[in-house]
Structure 1
Amino acid sequence: MRRPPAQPNQPNPPNRSSRRNPPTPPFNAPAARRLRAALNMGPEHVAYGMRASYGLPYVTEDMVIAWERELTAPTGSELTALAGVLWCSPGELLGKPRTLREHRIARGLAPEDVARAVGHELLAYRRMEETDDWHGTDRQSAALAEALGLSLPDFITVTGRDTKLAELLRSAVTTRWQAYVRPVGKMAPLDRRVIEDTLQELHQNYQGQMAATLSWGGGSGDSSAAGREFLDRIVEHFWTTVQGSGRP
């Protein structure tokens, strides 16, 4: 019986469709191109560095070009290796982090580092990253914010409180805002006066926008559309108004 031909030493690229990967981080392709050019490196040099120094034998020049053209994005391990080759932190190659995992990668931390800092078992912490569902005590949440350098808006998003905050804010601007000062304060620990001023301003903006639309004869359809757009972005409006008050 004839033996099958010997396989080359260099392994084939991993089959991404057959393995389970977490979502790729928000990759900043222009930053990657700019950093590579500043080092006078070509895509082929980047690919070689990732193969030789970071144990990623499947990375090719074409793959690096595809990343830079935003045709695809590197995985977490690929992004870490790319940052090493480009002599930068992983955070410099990311867009705005959106999830717990993306914030960790942006800080250049391993899952073990964060799990240890917050006092969680590693498997439990990994599960929270995979499901994008943080569970922790107040002390653990504070440790998470410190380990990942989270701003208050980022902390609210990462811990899954955005939806509840949006519900409270929508109710505040469409009814009596005074009744929602305390509930919003429990979720976003800000100075009470800041919350009062912010909710009052959002309420006035929303009600004024609705009244102005109707007074110009736009009709209930236009008014409803304008109102829905404002309410859809209510959390964004909230943080923008808070920042305008001088509080982070």
Structure 2
Amino acid sequence: MPVNTHAAEPRRPPFNAEAARRFRENLGMTPAHVAYGIWAAFGIQISPATVASWEWGEAAPTEAELTALAGALWCAPGDLLGAPGTLREYRLAHGLSPDGLALAIGMDQTAYERLEAGGTWRGNDRQAAALARTLQLPLPALLRFTGRAEKLTELLTSAVTTRWQAYVRPVGKLTTLPKEEIQDVLQELHADYQAAMTATLNWGGGDGTEESGQAGHAFVDGILGEFWKRVGR
């Protein structure tokens, strides 16, 4: 259940309420035990009712509360999160603070915080590799966070609409995927795009130009997701 918060409240991570309840029950603890453990180890005072509301999905812990809850339940913060989607969520899943992650990847903390807030990636290849390694990022997420997903989309669009062979090397340089794999996928995408265009030209009466254009736009709009699907990412 989504949790609405006011602008002045701390941002809340995507919380897995069912996982929190399961961890507590497996430890034979009550919400009161959890609340006490959070206060004793982290100095954060919350009520057993608050713990229960988290487990019911009626509310969600803040970042600090999530870390404390994970400590009380003897698990990692990532065990209490849903599937991460944003850079911040990946960081939280690994129990890292902004300054800790910035230090790990060799980036200024302010620059990292701007990135996490939706800013443009200003790091180098070494920092990108460190980010991927530290957060165990899947390749699609790494390219998205480092601002290279748009470039990949442009390359894929050109590959399916012109000569795909010319884009094997640029796509490989951007993704570091094996050349043979890229060749196979680009050839498949190119063939499917051309087939979609040809099929719509044969629909009904007229020359089908308008329908063909719509089909082409629809194919290209989903090209990045289709690429990742076909390379198994």
Whether TM-score is above 0.5 comes out as yes
Cα shift at 1:136: 0.8
- One-letter code of the match for 1:234? I
Choose the corresponding residue for 1:240, options 224, 229, 232: 229
Cα shift at 1:89: 0.7
- One-letter code of the match for 2:227? F
Choose the corresponding residue for 2:74, options 68, 87, 95: 87
Give the secondary-structure state (helix, strand or coil) at the position aligned to 1:178: helix
Give the secondary-structure state (helix, strand or coil) at the position aligned to 1:73: coil
Match of 2:6 in 1: 17
- One-letter code of the match for 2:28? N
Fraction of identical pairs, as percent: 54
Cα shift at 1:186: 2.9
> 1-side partners of 2:164 and 2:201: how far apart?
22
**1:1-248 alignment runs, 5 A limit:** 17=6, 19=8, 21=10, 23-57=11-45, 59-212=46-199, 230-243=219-232
Match of 1:5 in 2: none
Q: Which is further off, 99-108 or 168-177?
A: 168-177
- Residues 73 and 180 of structure 1: CA distance in aligned 2, closer, same or farther (over 3 Å): farther
TM-score (norm 2): 0.80
> 1-side partners of 2:200 and 2:98: how far apart?
50
Segments of 4+ moved more than 4 angstroms: 209-217, 219-230
> 2-side partners of 1:38 and 1:221: how far apart?
60
Could you give the per-residue CA deviations for residues 129-169 of structure 1, whole angstroms, max 9, x where no partner exists?
22353321111212222222223222112213223322332
> 1-side partners of 2:38 and 2:224: how far apart?
40
Q: What is the aligned length? A: 227
- Residues 48 and 214 of structure 1: CA distance in aligned 2, closer, same or farther (over 3 Å): farther
Q: Which is further off, 91-100 or 80-89?
A: 91-100
8 Å contact from structure 1 (residues 134, 160) kept in 2: yes
TM-score (norm 1): 0.75
- Residues 78 and 136 of structure 1: CA distance in aligned 2, closer, same or farther (over 3 Å): same
Cα shift at 1:221: 8.5
- Which residues of structure 1 form unaligned runs of 5+? 1-15
- Which residues of structure 2 form unaligned runs of 5+? none
> 1-side partners of 2:53 and 2:195: how far apart?
48
Cα shift at 1:17: 3.3
8 Å contact from structure 1 (residues 25, 97) kept in 2: no
Match of 1:8 in 2: none
> 1-side partners of 2:33 and 2:79: how far apart?
19
- Residues 17 and 222 of structure 1: CA distance in aligned 2, closer, same or farther (over 3 Å): same
> 2-side partners of 1:115 and 1:224: how far apart?
45
